[in-house]
Amino acid sequence: MNRAEIIETTKRFLSEEFEVDPNTIEPENNLQETLDLSSLDYVDLVIVIEENLGFKPTAEDFKSVATFEDFYQMVEAKMAE
Amino acid sequence: MEHRVVITGIGIYSSIGESIPEVLTSLKEGKSGIIYDEPRKEFGYRSCLTGFVKDPDLKPFLSRRERIGMHQPAMFAYMSTKEAVEMAGLDADFFENNETGIIFGNDSTAGAVVETIDKARQRKDTTLIGSGDIFQNMNCTVNMNLSTIYKLKGINLTMSAACASGSHSIGMGYLLIKQGLQERVICGGAQEINIYAMGSFDGLGTFSIRHDAPHKASRPFDRDRDGLVPSGGSATIIIESLESALKRNAKIYGEIVGYGFSSNGDHISNPNFDGQYRSLTMSMKQAGLTPNDIDYINAHATSTPVGDTTEAQVIAGVLGSKIPVSSTKSMTGHECWMAGASEVVYSLLMMHNDFIAPNINFENPDEDSSKINIVPEFREAKIDCFLSNSFGFGGTNSSLIIKKFKL
């Protein structure tokens, strides 16, 4: 999956799961604020990633994620493993 | 100082209507909410009859986070509570600044638990179950969800008392307000209707199998009944001190004047004359009333021979044979954990609209039901005071007496 495919796929399932306008998901935007994530929501974030991308990120993986750009980099790195 | 306790809001989401106006029409028309539910046959149910309520779409009203911890009991309870809160002229902003409690009746979350366990078994990883399931699975699911949504800051507890849960929730709220410990409490009862909720109850063989005539299946007090029909939904009653209601200029729908309760201390499922007798007489004594003061009795009668018979004996023994009696379960089926609350809502609607809802399907009395005054058809009647009975498994009994409000 290349970067464009990652962006398209994650935009779809994140906007569906967290009920946000897909247009608000932009690389420079903050992931937690845009998706309005509480600590509980990270449980569901892991589940939709596992269901849609086939890997299960850990809390450690999210430490470097602030923006969606960070998120895409994390996804690329995990999928390359 | 003791406080008078009044009702300022009611809401209903049931098999005979999803709002107060719909339910009022059904009560007057004697409409049945019972259906034949085909999936129950495949599941192995002996009886495929149930009262039906659809899962409401809560997306227009609640955020994802607010909805994710809800399964049927909380979803149904949100609908009835939304209606009651609006009727009472209240909202979350008011609750945030004015201490309000919630005591809600609920005694199962079977559907939610089964779905969660299925996910856990399939995925073999509890971290993939989801963040909402725990709040759906716990028996206090209605309380957790509604207290969060409405920003409630008073008493917050779930009343689990089998088929008397809804009635006890009102009774306990009444006692707290009467003693001055709370100004306002949201009371009620919720009951799930999914296929997992009633399988073990059906297995006892106490449900009606009148599959060819679902609307005729629930027939409390009738000689030819063959068992109860399970049902569900939710009912909400907002109660508050008279001082609080007057201060808010709230419309008052009734005053709670008596709450009796008891435990049979006997068999786990069989009713018991003495237990019901003590509950009923306690409510009458507390209210300081005589049988002449009661204009209508909403019976617990579920359409089982042993239950109906015992209640008819108790009503005849304590209150005599003249007071009009009906069991609205003839239309709704047995709303179980919700029943004690919904039947107060049904009775309040009768009181305010001057009628008695029929005990439909009452065609022939038996020896005991012939000794009380059962109303088989819609009847115009002035009701100033009614009594509502609720009796549950484990021998838990509750009787409430409510009067038309007079300052």
pLDDT computed for residue A54 by the predictor: 96
Last residue of a domain, one of B247, B277, B310: B247
Query: Per residue in B21-60, is it b (16+ CB within 10 Å) or e — as a string?
Result: eebbebbeebbbbbbbbeebeeeebbbbbbbbbeebebee
Residue B170: what pLDDT?
98
pTM: 0.97
Q: Would you say residue B367 has pLDDT above 90? A: yes
Condensed to tens digits (0 to 9), the pLDDT of residues B216-231 reads: 999 999 999 999 999 9
- Answer yes or no: do B154 and B293 share one domain: no
Measured at the alpha carbon of residue A26, what is the angle toward residues A23 and A28, in degrees to the nearest 5?
A: 150
Same domain as B308, residue B184: no
Are B284 and B366 in the same domain?
yes
pLDDT computed for residue B237 by the predictor: 98
Any idea what the Cα angle at residue B202 is, between residues B197 and B207, rounded to 5°? 120
Which of A43, A50, A51 would you mutate first to test chain B, the one with the most B CBs within 10 A? A43
Mind listing the domains of chain A with CATH numbers?
3-80 (1.10.1200.10)
* pLDDT at position A81 over 90: no
Rounded Cα distance, B168 and B171, in Å: 5
Whole-angstrom CA distances from B219 to B73, B297, B305, B333, B399 are: 26, 17, 10, 9, 22
Chain B contact probe: residue of A40, A48, A50 with most B CBs at under 10 A: A40
Which neighbouring-strand residues pair with B351? none
Same domain, residue pair B133 and B272: no
Which pLDDT band holds residue B63 (cuts at 50, 70, 90)? very high
Query: Strand, coil or helix: what is B22?
Result: helix
Q: Is B352 a catalytic residue?
A: no
Mean pLDDT of chain B: 97
Confirm or reject contact between B211 and chain A (CB < 8 A): no
Residues of B in contact with A56 (CB under 8 A): 127-128
8 Å CB contact between A47 and A68: no
Please give the average per-residue pLDDT across B63-87, as a whole number.
Answer: 98
Q: pLDDT tens, B77-91?
A: 999 999 999 999 999
Each residue of B268-306: pLDDT tens digit?
A: 999 999 999 999 999 999 999 999 999 999 999 999 999
Provide the residue range defining the domain that includes B128. 5-247
**Count of domains for chain B:** 2
What CATH number has the domain bearing residue B218?
3.40.47.10
Shortest Cα distance from A71 to chain B (angstroms)? 20
Give the Cβ contact number of residue B401 at 10 Å. 23
* In a shared domain, residues B325 and B232: no
Residue B285 near chain A (CB below 8 Å): no
pLDDT more than 90, % of chain B: 100
| Structural domain includes residue B197 | yes
Q: Which residues contact B192 (CB under 8 A, 6 or more apart)?
A: B71, B72, B73, B76, B108, B109, B110, B111, B232
Give B5's strand partners: B241, B256
Please indicate if any CB of chain B lies within 8 Å of the CB of A47: yes
Given this model, what pLDDT does residue B73 score? 98
Q: Which residues in chain B have Cβ-Cβ distances shorter than 8 Å to A38?
A: 65
Q: Which of B64, B65, B128 sits opposite A47 (nearest CB)?
A: B128
**AA identity, residue B72:** Q
Q: Assess whether B210 and B275 both reside in one domain.
A: no
The verdict on residue B252 lying in a domain is no
pLDDT in tens, B174-216: 999 999 999 999 999 999 999 999 999 999 999 999 999 999 9
8 Å CB contact of A44 and B65: no
Domain-located, residue B70: yes
pLDDT confidence band for B378 (50 / 70 / 90): very high
- Separate counts of helices (H) and strands (E) for chain B: 16, 15
Please report the pLDDT score of residue B275 as a whole number. 96
How much is the pLDDT for B1?
85
Q: How far is CA A32 from CA A72, A73, B175, in A?
A: 14, 16, 45
End-of-domain residue from the set B247, B266, B297: B247
B267 lies in some domain: yes
User: Which candidate from A18, A43, A56 shows the least CB-CB separation from B130?
Assistant: A43
B236 and B268 co-located in one domain: no
Residue B93 belongs to a domain: yes
Does B157 fall in a domain?
yes
Tell whether B63 lies on the interface with A, counting CB pairs under 8 A.
yes
Judge whether B267 counts as a catalytic residue.
Answer: no
Same domain for B84 and B208, yes or no, is yes
Q: What does the pLDDT average to over B341-368?
A: 98
| Average pLDDT over every residue of B94-119 | 97
Q: Which of A15, A17, A19, A62 to mutate to test the interface with B (most CBs of B within 10 A)?
A: A19
Cα B185 to Cα B8, B20, B152, B173, B174: the distances in Å are: 10, 20, 10, 6, 8
Residues B175, B266 within the same domain: no
